[in-house]
Structure 1
Amino acid sequence: MALKITVIGTGYLGATHAAAMAELGFEVLGLDVVPEKIEMLTRGEVPMYEPGLEELLRRHVAGIEGSSGRLRFTMDFAEAAAFGDVHFVCVNTPQKHGEYACDMSYVDAAFASLAPHLKPGALVVGKSTVPVGSAQRLAALLPEGAELAWNPEFLREGFAVNDTLHPDRIVVGVDSERAEKLLRDVYAKPVTEGAPFVVTDFPTAELVKTAANSFLATKISFINAMAEVCEAAGGDVVKLAEALGYDDRIGAKFLRAGIGFGGGCLPKDIRAFMARAGELGADQALTFLREVDSINMRRRGHMVELAREAVGGGSFLGKRVAVLGATFKPDSDDVRDSPALNVAGQIHLQGGQVTVYDPKGMDNARRLFPTLGYAASAEEAVRGADVVLHLTEWREFRDLDPEALGAVAGHRVLLDGRNALDPERWRAAGWTYRAMGRPAA
């Protein structure tokens, strides 16, 4: 008999996972407690921007003309429990207010609501990023005859559909051969295509995601620390990174210096990891992550100081500042802990007239920072600006015409917070180009 799958929580992770499971051929029921989200998804619409996700969803949502009909949505936990053989829990685990620790309330609520209705033989699979030790505690909440497994997600925003359908690895934390077999059945297609299938215990599976994010954060902060040294010594961090990247022990990925990382994962995950290590008595093992976090946050302040220098070195009062980018990364509308918006907000608070433009993140940015100015295009944002800050590396910004932009700017001064633009091209058009960790000219 074909497995039936439920997905508990239909945010960024859950909506992507539900659509991908339907694409792999399973009957899928997605559950959420937010009526507006369920209504959107039932219409084949997604509440966030993710390339390819809406098209994938519309290919499978029941009731949409031409769809497979394999994907439906509900708000009823009893219906979900009766429907599914494998239940993926994909709810959010944000940072607690005023603490580094992870807020487990959404995960706990999902388990508490689902557990009483589970049928014997059901497998509950956690995908949320949780503190190590959570799985063992949550397993005790399940009724006799139901099992738990942990299967961390490794989605990259902007590439989530591909990362789900063609993962670079599948990690499953299990404590029975049956749970392993069920998950091998779920992921049979990607495994056949060559995706490694790594079987671990619960704690190791929980640690993989936080360890991976901590390593990436460390690599980003390392090259940003090198950018600080390059500025002090007159070196060029872009050339330094290029030379380092040829060493295959290091690799070139995540070695682009700039204003640092943000988003809903890396910052909160490394902080939660530090907090959990402290609870386990292993806090000394992760003290280096404090410096990783500190370097990252310092980059934002450094960009504000570069902008202050660019407008005369004194006050931002009466100065017009154009900010290109609001999202924490390109190909996403996610503005959570966005370095770009943080820099824009700091300059605004210090008296600057800030105008922001982003290809996809404008609505979310307005909700988070309603007092900033917003423009409908890059040209409109730059009009009359004393300085232009490039803070999110969208392709649209790399393709801008420096000459056309210079015709509307108040002053041709560009600060590249992502080291992603071509300095020679901008300087040839009469711009003063400055980037972090690079010589001024």
Structure 2
Amino acid sequence: MSERIAVFGTGYLGATHAAGMAELGHEVIGVDIDAAKIERLQRGDVPFYEPGLPELLRKHVDSGRLRFTTDAAEAAAFADVHFIGVGTPQVKGGYGADMRFVDAVIETLAPLLTRPAVILGKSTVPVGTAARLAARVRELAPVGDQAQLGWNPEFLREGFAVQDTLRPDRLVLGVDVDHPGRIEEVARRVYAQALERETPLVVTDLATAELVKVSANAFLATKISFINAVAEVCEATGADVRDLADAIGYDERIGRKFLGAGLGFGGGCLPKDIRAFMARAGELGVDQALTFLREVDNVNMRRREHVVQLATREVGGSLNGARIAVLGAAFKPDSDDVRDSPALDVAGKLHLSGAQVRVHDPEGMDNAARIWPTLDFAGSAEEAVEEADLVIIATEWRQFRDLDPEAVGRLVAHKRIIDGRNCLPAQSWIDAGWTYRGLGRHSA
């Protein structure tokens, strides 16, 4: 059954969700205060890189099933189901989440609800937020209790967001136990196609739904930092972290995913979400329960400095004047997201230490240049490595994994490479005469 849906926020989460809802057969309107962004989306132009999304967006803008507006009143008059998909960045000067944008949606939308409506939050928020917002909606909406709010956290992976929207591995729905209303009924209609494919649906209270997302991110971050801490021990003992990860990954209680040692995690979710989780635990008086996350964060940040130190040793003890090619700027492949990117952070640290740094990334160059305009950006990997004293693989794009060590060797000044993502076939590079350094791996 088709629903009339409004999605507030047209950034990475909102635009993807809006296009996905249209693909699932619903009539959708995307809402944002950024008029320039709305104009681009209405033309079918995605303002960020996400595989498969431009085609999906244009398909449904052209079909008329998806449109965009800056007018919240238009959206309120059109839709019966409203999704909140705005950002919750880390607050400046602290660890907590900045809730201004989520609060602004409620303050704008709720007074416009003159008929029964369901609001489903997707943004990642501190536990307790949904209950507060549900009460605020009932207070502000002209229809009172007939305006109901639930929480439906997102679990999108950048590079796979379209797939995760259309074919999620699970759905979580938080319902206000004192005011359940029609929330579950409406959510089941919205996600009917996924439920027909037997996608698990976990219906729970609001607080649990909020905690599911941050707990999942905290666990993944912990797993990454665990293997990176083990990589430090491997380097000290001559062990190989990839063989180690393969061996422990066969244990079904552990699994191999997210046991890839390297530069660590970044992006707009994991770093700020674990910090906001710690901050909220402190507000609730249970900060000791999450003190381990501080070390998870510390291990992650330490990986970046470790690569800078390793680069310093590789070029003879001083970075001053060293020509270094950094391949990668986005925090992960198949994305142009450079928020808290380990790759870009390493490039910047090398630059500030006196190195001549040249960066290439298949999609993240423009965003990287806005953050680090003083870096030198190359139009190709080949241009980046020309006459380099050292090459660093900082993002595991397929283009970099597939580089020919013989061909690259003819371009550089010195055959030295740091595999910051442990993604290269190490022996092939060693056989081609390169000094290869992996993180926590056997080197030559």
State the superposition RMSD in angstroms: 0.8
Please list, as runs of the form range in 1=range in 2, the aligned pairs for 1:97-136 lying within 5 A after superposition.
97-136=92-131
Where 1:59 maps in the other structure, the secondary structure is helix
Q: Which position in structure 1 is the counterpart of 2:320?
A: 317
Q: In the alignment, which of 431, 436, 440 is matched to residue 437 of structure 1?
A: 440
Q: Which position in structure 2 is the counterpart of 1:283?
A: 287
**Does the 8 Å CA contact 2:2/2:25 hold for their aligned counterparts?**
no
Q: Which position in structure 2 is the counterpart of 1:206?
A: 210
Spell out, residue by residue over 1:24-60, the C-alpha distance to the aligned partner (whole angstroms, 9 max, x if none): 1111111000011100000001010000000000110
Paired with 2:160 and 2:289, the residues of 1 have a C-alpha distance of: 32
Residue 318 of structure 1, CA deviation = 1.4
Q: Which position in structure 2 is the counterpart of 1:411?
A: 414
Spell out, residue by residue over 1:233-284, the C-alpha distance to the aligned partner (whole angstroms, 9 max, x if none): 1111111001010001000000010010000000000000000000011111
Paired with 1:60 and 1:2, the residues of 2 have a C-alpha distance of: 14
Letter aligned with residue 197 of structure 2: E
Paired with 2:442 and 2:411, the residues of 1 have a C-alpha distance of: 26
**Does the 8 Å CA contact 2:148/2:181 hold for their aligned counterparts?**
no
Q: Which position in structure 1 is the counterpart of 2:256?
A: 252
Residue 177 of structure 1, CA deviation = 5.0
Q: Which position in structure 2 is the counterpart of 1:6?
A: 6
Residue 83 of structure 1, CA deviation = 0.5
Residue 232 of structure 1, CA deviation = 1.1
Q: In the alignment, which of 364, 368, 378 is matched to residue 371 of structure 2?
A: 368
Spell out, residue by residue over 1:75-122, the C-alpha distance to the aligned partner (whole angstroms, 9 max, x if none): 111111111100000000000011000000010111111111012311
Letter aligned with residue 389 of structure 2: D
Paired with 1:26 and 1:234, the residues of 2 have a C-alpha distance of: 56
Letter aligned with residue 278 of structure 2: M
What are structure 1's unaligned runs of at least 5 residues? none
Q: Which position in structure 2 is the counterpart of 1:166?
A: 167
Paired with 1:95 and 1:118, the residues of 2 have a C-alpha distance of: 30
**Does the 8 Å CA contact 2:118/2:182 hold for their aligned counterparts?**
no
Q: In the alignment, which of 87, 91, 104 is matched to residue 92 of structure 1?
A: 87
Paired with 2:407 and 2:114, the residues of 1 have a C-alpha distance of: 64
Q: In the alignment, which of 222, 226, 241 is matched to residue 218 of structure 1?
A: 222
How many residues are paired up?
A: 435
Letter aligned with residue 379 of structure 1: E
Residue 355 of structure 1, CA deviation = 0.1
Please list, as runs of the form range in 1=range in 2, the aligned pairs for 1:20-169 lying within 5 A after superposition.
20-61=20-61, 64=62, 68-142=63-137, 143=141, 144=144, 145-169=146-170
Where 1:414 maps in the other structure, the secondary structure is strand
Paired with 2:433 and 2:168, the residues of 1 have a C-alpha distance of: 45
% of aligned pairs identical? 67
Where 2:410 maps in the other structure, the secondary structure is helix
Residue 69 of structure 1, CA deviation = 1.1
Paired with 2:2 and 2:153, the residues of 1 have a C-alpha distance of: 23
Where 2:437 maps in the other structure, the secondary structure is strand
Where 1:408 maps in the other structure, the secondary structure is coil
Q: In the alignment, which of 265, 273, 280 is matched to residue 277 of structure 2?
A: 273
Where 2:114 maps in the other structure, the secondary structure is coil
Where 2:182 maps in the other structure, the secondary structure is helix
What are structure 2's unaligned runs of at least 5 residues? none
Paired with 1:105 and 1:284, the residues of 2 have a C-alpha distance of: 27
Letter aligned with residue 117 of structure 1: L
Paired with 1:330 and 1:393, the residues of 2 have a C-alpha distance of: 6
Residue 440 of structure 1, CA deviation = 2.3
Where 1:141 maps in the other structure, the secondary structure is helix
Runs of 4+ in 1 over 4 A off after TM superposition: none
Moved more, 150-159 or 427-436: 427-436
Where 1:172 maps in the other structure, the secondary structure is strand
Q: Which position in structure 1 is the counterpart of 2:301?
A: 297
Give the TM-score normalised by the residue count of structure 2. Answer: 0.97
Letter aligned with residue 224 of structure 1: N
Paired with 2:425 and 2:69, the residues of 1 have a C-alpha distance of: 49
